[in-house]
A and B are shown apart, each in its own frame.
Chain A
Amino acid sequence: MIKYLKEYRFYITLFLFLLIPVIALDTSTRSPRDYRFYDRVILAVTAPIQTAISWSLEQAVDLTQGYLYLWNVKTQNTQLFEENRKLLGQIASLKEAENENMRLRQVLNFQEKMRLETIVARVIAKDVSTEFRAVRLNRGENAGIKKGMAVVTYEGVVGRVLRTTGTTSDVVTVLDLLSAVDAVSERSRARGVVEGLTDEICQMKFTLRTDDIQIGDFLLSSGLGGIFPRGVAVGTVSKVNKKQFGISQEIEVKPAVDFTKLEEVMVVLDQKVEVIEKPIEPKTPKAETHSTVKPAIKSAPKGRKPHEEGAE
Chain B
Amino acid sequence: MKNLVLRALNAPLFVLLVAGAVAVQSSLFNSYPLWYFQPDLILIAVIWCALRRTLTEGGILVLIFASIVETHSSSPVGFFLCIYMILFLGIRAFSRFFVISQFSALLIVTIGAAVSWKLLVLAFLSAFDRATAQAFHFLITVLPFAAIEGLMGFWLYRALDLFDRSTTQSESSRQLIEDELLVEEGL
Given A22-B82, A199-B137, A14:B74 Cβ within 8 A: no
B78 close to A (CB within 8 Å) = yes
Set of chain A residues within 8 Å of B69, measured between Cβ atoms: 128-129
B81 lies within 8 A of A20 (CB): yes
Interface string of B19-40 (1 = CB under 8 A from A): 1101111111111110100101
Cα–Cα distance between A176 and B130 once the two chains are bound (Å): 11
Stretch at the interface among A33-41, A62-70, A82-90: A33-41
Given A33-B77, A35-B71, A172-B74, A126:B134 Cβ within 8 A: no
Closest chain-A Cβ to B70's Cβ sits at a distance in Å of 8
Interface size on B, residues (CB 8 A): 53
B56 close to A (CB within 8 Å) = yes
Which residues of A, 13-33, contact B by the 8 Å Cβ criterion?
A: 13-14, 17-18, 20-29, 33
B85 lies within 8 A of A53 (CB): no
Cα–Cα distance between A178 and B127 once the two chains are bound (Å): 12
Interface string of B84-112 (1 = CB under 8 A from A): 01001100000000000000000000000
B59 lies within 8 A of A17 (CB): yes
Set of chain B residues within 8 Å of A45, measured between Cβ atoms: 16, 19-20, 23
Measured as residues with beta carbon below 8 angstroms from the partner, the interface class of chain A is 35 or more
A254 close to B (CB within 8 Å) = no
B13 close to A (CB within 8 Å) = no
Cα–Cα distance between A198 and B72 once the two chains are bound (Å): 20
| A-B CB contact pairs (8 Å), 19 listed | A10-B55, A17-B89, A20-B85, A24-B77, A24-B82, A29-B76, A38-B67, A39-B71, A46-B23, A53-B27, A57-B28, A125-B72, A126-B29, A126-B35, A128-B73, A129-B73, A177-B134, A195-B133, A260-B32
Partner-B contacts on A (CB < 8 A): 10, 13-14, 17-18, 20-29, 33, 35, 38-39, 42-43, 45-47, 49-51, 53-54, 57, 61, 123-134, 136, 162, 170, 172, 176-178, 195-199, 203, 259-261
